[in-house]
Chain A
Amino acid sequence: MTTMTELPAKHPPGGTAAGGGRNSTGRTPGRRRRPSGALAGWLSVAPALVVILGFTFYPMVQSMLLSTDHWNLLGPRTFVGAENYSAILGAGTFRTSLLNTLVFTVITIAGTYVLALATAMAANRELASARFVRTVTVLPAVIPMVVAGLVWKWLYEPDHGLINTLIGLFGADGARWLFDNDLALPAVAVVSVWKEFGIYALILLGGLQRIPDEIYEAATIDRAGPWRQFRSITLPMLRPAGAAVFLLLLFNSFKVFDQVWVMTEGGPGTATLTVVTFIYTRLLTDVGVASAASVVLFVILLAITLVRLKLTSREES
């Protein structure tokens, strides 16, 4: 990333020289290569840098070091090399958690994307009610995830929950949702869809509004039907916003924890055990294994971020 090019280009050539001539205290932005500039620069970033280095960067490095050790916080710490990695990647539980996270991610992305896109397209047409709709659909995003998890746990409650009560009104039998091995994971994913789709709809709406009406008008003249217009105009022209939404969803889905912990604690059995849930359950008893799992998660998130950066830099150029 370049820095100077991001400053406004309209910098008048004469301005700096004039200011620099008059001012000798080192404050003039035009002439910053002075000791006082270095001092001021480092002073300005120091507090934030200390916090970020000490409480994010250093722990990240530690995470990698811990991942090659065997340690239960009390006994001695012994170096075991790649043993933790081969242990978690070779055996069942962690692989289950990776697979669960992947399934959770696919459901969340598909559900959120479809809901958000349909909502954005509807709102793009029907602007009269947009304000109310926006307020209500974004509301879940601000509610704490623990609260969202508890509310949905109550909605899913098999005997008295709203969902089974509503199903009962139609004379059908409800499901056991969070207590069902096959349904628990999708049920937990629905909470994420519910919480986030409003925001992503707004991002996509922003993208939709940047598509010029003339393109649709021209397509209508050429007798392209609605489906054809959607496929050949909307989707391709929405790609920048769409890609951003996709990668953000991917990144966030891999970190899922709060609602899982509140709703199922990873159960029934290991049906909803996600990667962070796996880490959390071993955090204080098996530091090496928890750290190795953290590093694996980090590598996944890193890969997603690199793709994201590549896409944004391609768009900028």
Chain B
Amino acid sequence: MSKSPNRLAPALWLTAVTVFAGLPVLWMALTSFQPMEDLVGTGRHLIPDHLTAGAYHEVVSAFPFGRWFLNSLLVALAVVAGNLVFDTLAAYGLSRIRFRGRQAVLTLILATLMIPTQVILVPLYLVMRDLDWIDTYWALIVPFLASPTGIFLLRQHFITLPVQLDEAAAIDGAGRLRTLVSILLPNSWAALGTVAVLKFMWTWGEFAWPSLVTNNELLRTLPVGLAQFQNQFAPRWDLLMAGSVLAAIPVVLAFVLLQKTFVSGLTGGAVKE
């Protein structure tokens, strides 16, 4: 199969960007399986001489990595669950029920779309302090139980479902909640999946906020633990990369399994609005 230069150039470019995107991930994994003396030795080889899982042993036994992992998982799952319930309810009300003040609620929620956590770090910290939530799971979970993005995505989806579905259910005597659960939700798996996957990924990777509101080592999430651990053990790249692999695995795994949902969520959330 001979390719004209017209097809060769795109293929070469795609190869180049695939290497650019993939090599750092590969390097992280390779480093995590190499002994430290091989990484910094003179005359080191790019292809490792021998592989070992020693760094994983050390990182899991010397630090509460298991605990940090469970913290991350608990926080991310709680946030996902909260968003699935609260965002769905709100999206339902804002697309299916007509009530006085609906427009105002909708405008307010759309307005908060543009307030990222980064600009409210100070006052949100003070709210947590007043609630006595510093160094508790509440601070990591409760502020994020509902989100404008989730409400927005789900509402956009509900709008595309024909109202006749609801009407048919109403004629059969189904109440609002029943209609939502048995009529709308079964037709919304893709949208719900997108919200779940995006929320999980974002919460899992969150850094600035959890490191601000947790001082207790046992309450750290994985990214926070990892970042603080690098300050104590800066030159131990084998350990840092092993920890990095552990922190990346759940999201990478979810990505590989649910690639379609991830991609539609990441691109869809960006172009719609």
What is the interface of chain A, defined by CB distance below 8 A to chain B? 1, 3, 6-8, 10-12, 15-16, 19, 22-23, 25, 27-30, 32-33, 37-38, 40-45, 47-49, 51-60, 62-63, 66, 115, 118-119, 121-123, 125-126, 129, 132-148, 150-152, 154-155, 157, 159-160, 162, 165, 194, 197-200, 202-203, 206, 241, 244-245, 248, 251, 255, 257-258, 261-262, 276, 279-280, 283-284, 287, 290-291, 294-295, 297-298, 301-302, 305, 308-309, 312
> Which of A63, A115, A118 is within 8 Å of B122, CB to CB?
A63
- Interface pair B21/A283, CB less than 8 Å apart: no
- Interface pair B163/A312, CB less than 8 Å apart: no
What 5 pairs across the A-B complex have the smallest Cβ distances? A41-B99, A44-B93, A144-B205, A122-B10, A55-B143
- Interface pair B109/A52, CB less than 8 Å apart: yes
Interface size on B (CB < 8 Å)?
113
Chain A hits for B116, CB < 8 A: 255, 301
Contact with A along B199-215 (1 / 0, CB 8 A): 00100110110001000
> Which of B147, B148, B162 is within 8 Å of A10, CB to CB?
B162
Chain A hits for B6, CB < 8 A: 125
- Interface pair A137/B17, CB less than 8 Å apart: yes
B106: CB under 8 A from chain A?
Answer: yes
Chain B hits for A10, CB < 8 A: 162
**Chain B's nearest CB lies how many Å from the CB of A126?**
4
What is the interface of chain B, defined by CB distance below 8 A to chain A? 6-7, 9-11, 13-14, 17-18, 20-25, 27-28, 31, 39-40, 44, 46, 82, 85-87, 89-90, 92-103, 105-110, 112-116, 118-127, 142-148, 151, 159-160, 162-164, 166-167, 170-171, 174-176, 179, 201, 204-205, 207-208, 212, 222-224, 226-227, 230, 237, 240-241, 244, 247-248, 251-252, 254-256, 259, 262-263, 266-267, 270-271, 273
- Interface pair A11/B115, CB less than 8 Å apart: no
